[in-house]
């Protein structure tokens, strides 16, 4: 019950906040914000309370590999974006499912192995996204759009939670980390503002996922010896530090600059 209530409050709040941030500071910032593990993190937390720290660490291992699947989602969406948002969403979701399923045998391996694969996937996906250029101004969004995003996102999250309950820890971790917020935010941005701004959301998402990967790595290592409270506190602090560091690194001269306020057009 606590998890359902949390999702009923947290999901619409995060989608609404990311949507408003995207309008205020640009699509890149909106994507960066939704990379925070604000759904998969609480899911893992409640599992740690109910099932124990070792089970939760296994779920975190599945979620870490899920970051690799999110990177594949972002890359597939970006490459399909010119074909329209329905095709891009369907292709990206299918890609996520395939990569997440293939990655399952890696869950029991030492954390260094999936971590290297995840980092490689984030770098590869960022480089594989279409290049961007300055685009045209888009019209103002209708008043119903952000509430619509919030309702759809909440419904999808609750459905995925119901599915995850029937799975083991590895697949539960992957399902828990399905990029619901990213899919909703990217698709709505794509529909209204075009493929270019959708790609900008995905670039922000990939930047923020370094912090998410760090969050799950710390949980895998710290949960069993430290317990729920200290383990999650350490993971949250490390995640925020890494996410901020990734943003600063990409904003430096010579880095992969992605201006939050500029409009973009995909190749």
**What are 184-209's pLDDT values in tens digits?**
888 888 888 888 889 988 998 999 89
CA distance 67 to 57: 15
Strands 264-266 and 132-134, bridge-based pairing: antiparallel
Assess whether pLDDT exceeds 50 at residue 66. yes
CA distance 133 to 110: 41
pLDDT at 245: 84
pLDDT at 75: 96
CA distance 241 to 211: 7
Q: How high does pLDDT run on average in the chain?
A: 77
pLDDT at 206: 92
Would you place residue 256 in the very low, low, confident or very high pLDDT band (cuts 50, 70, 90)? very low
CA distance 57 to 48: 8
**Distance set, CA 153 to CA 137, 159, 173 (Å):** 26, 10, 19
CA distance 227 to 208: 26
For the chain, counts of helices (H) and of strands (E): 11, 2
21-35, 115-129, 201-215: range with lowest mean pLDDT: 21-35
pLDDT tens figures, 219-243: 999 998 999 889 999 998 988 888 8
The pLDDT of 61-66, averaged and rounded, is 86
Assess whether pLDDT exceeds 60 at residue 142. no
The pLDDT of 168-176, averaged and rounded, is 60
pLDDT at 59: 82
pLDDT at 16: 65
pLDDT at 12: 64
* Consecutive H or E run containing 133: strand 132-134
């Amino acid at each position: 019950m606590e998890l359902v209530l949390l999702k009923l409050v947290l999901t619409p709040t995060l989608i609404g906040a990311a949507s408003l941030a995207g309008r205020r500071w640009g699509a890149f910032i909106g994507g960066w914000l939704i990379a925070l593990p604000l759904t998969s993190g609480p899911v893992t937390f409640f599992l740690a309370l109910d099932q124990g720290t070792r089970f939760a660490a296994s779920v975190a291992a599945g979620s870490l590999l899920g970051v690799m699947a999110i990177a594949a989602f972002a890359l597939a969406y970006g490459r399909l974006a010119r074909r329209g948002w329905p095709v891009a969403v369907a292709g990206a979701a299918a890609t996520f499912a395939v990569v997440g399923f293939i990655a399952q045998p890696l869950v029991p391996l030492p954390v260094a192995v999936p971590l290297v694969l995840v980092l490689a996937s984030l770098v590869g996906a960022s480089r594989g996204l279409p290049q961007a250029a300055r685009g045209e101004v888009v019209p103002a969004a209708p008043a119903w759009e952000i509430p619509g995003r919030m309702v759809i996102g909440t419904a999808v999250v609750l459905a995925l939670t119901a599915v995850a309950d029937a799975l083991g820890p590895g697949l539960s971790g992957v399902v828990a980390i399905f990029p619901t917020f990213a899919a909703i935010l990217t698709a709505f941005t794509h529909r209204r503002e075009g493929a270019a701004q959708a790609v900008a959301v995905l670039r922000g998402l990939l930047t923020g996922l370094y912090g998410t990967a760090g969050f799950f790595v710390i949980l895998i290592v710290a949960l069993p010896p430290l317990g729920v409270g200290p383990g999650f506190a350490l993971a949250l602090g490390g995640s925020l530090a890494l996410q901020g560091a990734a943003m600063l690194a990409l904003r430096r001269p010579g880095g992969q600059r992605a201006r939050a306020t500029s409009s973009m057009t995909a190749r």
